Structure 1
Amino acid sequence: MEQLPRVDPLEDPYLALRAALVVVICTVMSEPLGITMVMLPVAIGMSMVSNQRGGLNARVFAGPIILPVVAVVFSWIAAMTVNEPFLFLLVNGLLAVVGLALMLFRGSRGGMLLTVFPAMMSVSAIYSDYALAGIRDAMVMGGILVGVAATIANILFPPTTRRIHVENPTPLDSESPFAELAIRVVVYFSTLVATFAMGDMTLLIVPIMMIFVCGEPDHGGRVEQVFDRGLGTVVGGVVATGGLAIYYLVPQFPVLVLLLAAITYFLIEGMSWGRNRPQFYQYVCSVALVMILSSITGANSAFEVVFQRIVLTMGIMLAGIALLSLLEAIFIAPKPRRSAPLPA
């Protein structure tokens, strides 16, 4: 998939402001709309808006339109197959193959839709019908809310350029593409089945993190994912801890909204000026927002949320990159080195 380019402040000086505004709207409107998992529309909205590059076009608003459809379709599939174990595993396995193939061979973000969202719905369906209905409704209403919020933000603070950004993904370059795909499917699907066996919603992050590792076409991309998401989780945990400390001093809803807006603004601004890759700042922001909202609205303590997220993310990504490297060393023939031309 395409690596997000750095934001050009001359083309889009208001990206951080748009992202912060979307976070504020989603946070404030989630409760009136009956969204129980507030972190979903907040994190998804921030990610979709901060992914914008170039001028406005139809693709900017495609995500919020697709999200409710994807949520309804995959929740229905999960509900219909969860009581038929063989069919349940077969459907998830086929989706994993197609999704990973799209990610590896085409660099398509559509592969994420066929892997991440079915995993979320399937784990929820195993946990309980209530959990499945809750995450489905949160994504349906969240998609509508994100669409409205993104529209308002782009009307008030649009990009200053009319240049349409064209994605330039990097597909897999290998002499054994199907063997590469098979290895990734085995690693990812094994992780997904193990998560099913645990039946614990808190482990939902495990297959999602694994898909980011398996979806990278080369070892260098996997290392970058480990850095961005592994270190980003640690930094996001530190940011979330600081934010929660301030909130618990003044536990008022306006304080929470201002905290989330400030965190979003300064971290997304780093996508323009920061030393690290833009994905790093985006992921730190996502982790911080989710940890803060999960700690405040969930049943788990703040320390448990932060510690568990850091341990699971770092552990699964390091295990994934090590396992993929081992299997590739065993089953994939190394590329022949080009010999240097002999001097005349």
Structure 2
Amino acid sequence: MYVAPRPREEDDPNFAIRLSIIPVVGLALGIVLQSPMAMIYPTLMYSLMAGQRKALNVGRALGGPLAFIVMLWLMSWVVSLTINLPLVMVAVMTLIFFAGFYMIGKTGKPAGMLVIVSALMMSILGTGSYMAMTVLRDEMSKAALASTVITPLLYLLIPPGTREKAVDVYAPFHEDQLALRAAIRAGVLLLFSLWLYAVIDTTNLMLAVSAVFVLTFPTSETIFAEARERSLSTVMGGIAALAVLAVLTFIAQLPVLLVLAFLATLFFSQKMITGRHPAMVYQYAASAMISMVGGALATQEPGYAFLTRAVLTIAGAIGAAFLTSLLEALLLKPAPAAVDAAPEAIS
């Protein structure tokens, strides 16, 4: 699975500033549009832009969001056709999960992630409320479409220090038993999804979503490494979110929220360049912080909202890592031992 490398200050000295502006713009846009899910805008727009390195990759800036929009509408259509046939919907989602994981394993490209995440979100929300699914689809589509305009505009106004475009290096899974590896991951994700289908608790969507990111990695070592990074990121983002909410309890003003969101994101974005942890830890932390602040502001119990998000994210990541590793140990055939082809010396 492709993971963006650490950004370098010599390539893009304005990286942190530019990346910190987009969630502020996204939040303001969500409020201006009177979105019922205003925090989706900063969260999604930040995530779509954070993968850029060096000069602007127009294909990534436009193609990624547009592909995500297409997948959201396609998966919502599939769910609308099968929602009254639960067994059919589960079977179709299982095949979609398998296809997405197989695509990731075969190519190492993140396109399969778009397939899985869009199918997962639409099916879970569609099971609970068809209206909630359509609202989420529409708002995420608007946010993704906005990012196709805001991201190039920010790169134009705040250009990087180089015109060189980053070259993405994709790492496919092991070719051996690829279908079985994809089937194991699809089965693990289906277990998380079935629990959410059964309880129809759409607020716990993060349990399954956090499992997706862990399952895209090929080996037990990388799966557990990703689970640890996700858990650390959630804790870091949660601490930052609590700090923001603490200030807002004394000064509950929109300009204060925008400034705090900018400063907190700036801290994590700068740490993506200089921090001692991998860059993705700080990127996930910023995304978690934005999401947790939004979730807390939408409820009268922000402490409970933070605790629920943190526990579910960590439980989803670690649970997926343990279950996948266990199933691979039980079901995958061990790799054949290397055979020394060199002829023995003849005395």
Q: 1:76 to 1:149 in 2, by over 3 A?
A: same
Contact 1:192 1:207 in 2 (8 A): yes
Q: Secondary structure at the match of 2:273?
A: helix
Q: Please give the per-residue CA displacement for 1:249-279, whole angstroms capped at 9, x wherever unaligned.
A: 1000000000111111110111111111011
Residue in structure 2 matched with residue 330 of structure 1 by the alignment: 330
Q: Deviations over 1:95-137 (max 9, x none)?
A: 1011010111211211111111111111111111221122012
60-69 or 200-209, which deviates more: 60-69
Equivalent residue for 2:299? 299
Within 2, Cα distance between the matches of 1:100 and 1:66? 17
Query: What is the match of residue 226 of structure 2?
Result: 225
Alpha-carbon separation, structure 2, partners of 1:206 and 1:65: 26
Deviation string, structure 1 residues 140-190 (Cα, Å, up to 9, x no partner): 211222222212211111222122222112111253222222222211122
Distance 1:145 1:181 in 2: 33
Residue 121 of structure 1: aligned partner: 122
Partner of 1:131: 132
Higher mean alpha-carbon deviation, 70-79 vs 198-207, is at 70-79
CA shift, 1:224, in A, is: 1.8
Does the Cα contact within 8 Å between 2:207 and 2:315 map onto a contact in 1?
no
Identity between Structure 1 and Structure 2 (%): 28
Aligned-residue offset at 1:72: 2.3
The aligned residue for residue 54 of structure 1 is 54
Where in structure 2 are there 5+ consecutive unaligned residues?
none
Alignment check: 8 A CA contact 2:296 2:305 kept: yes
Which residue in 2 is equivalent to 1:157?
A: 158
Report if the CA contact (8 A) 1:267-1:282 is conserved.
yes
In 2, the alpha carbon distance for the partners of 1:327 and 1:140 equals 36
Instruction: For residues 289-316 of structure 1, give each alpha carbon's deviation from its aligned partner in whole angstroms, at most 9, with x where no partner exists.
Output: 10001111x2351111110111111112
What letter corresponds to residue 185 of structure 1 in structure 2?
Answer: A
RMSD: 1.9
What is residue 317 of structure 1 aligned with on the other side?
A: 317
Q: Quick one: structure 1 residues 168 and 330, their matched pair in 2 at CA, closer, same or farther if it must change by over 3 Å? A: same
Equivalent-residue separation in structure 2 for 1:251 and 1:150 (angstroms): 29
Q: Give the direction of change, closer, same or farther, for the CA distance of 1:177–1:76 in structure 2 (3 Å limit).
A: closer
Contact preservation (8 Å) 2:56, 2:152:
no
1:343 and 1:251 mapped to 2: Cα distance?
Answer: 79
Structure 2 counterpart of 1:185: 186
C-alpha contact 1:271 1:281 (8 A) present in aligned 2: yes
SS of residue in 1 equivalent to 2:263? helix
Q: Secondary structure at the match of 1:78?
A: helix
Contact persistence 1:71–1:136 (CA under 8 A): yes
Q: Is the Cα contact below 8 Å between 2:273 and 2:279 reproduced in 1?
A: yes
User: Secondary structure of 2:32's match?
Assistant: coil
- Hey, what's the Cα distance between the residues in 2 that align with 1:300 and 1:119? 28
The whole-number CA distance in structure 2 between the counterparts of 1:174 and 1:228 is: 26
Letter aligned with residue 288 of structure 1: M
Normalised by the size of structure 1, how large is the TM-score? 0.94
Match of 1:110 in 2: 111
Q: Which residue of 2 aligns with 1:287?
A: 288
Q: Which residue pairs with 2:44 in the alignment?
A: 44
Task: Determine the C-alpha separation between the residues in 2 that align with 1:122 and 1:25.
Answer: 30
CA contact (8 A) 2:177 2:332 kept: yes
- Report the Cα distance in structure 2 between the residues aligned to 1:46 and 1:280, rounded to whole angstroms: 14
Instruction: Report what 2:174 is aligned to.
Output: 173
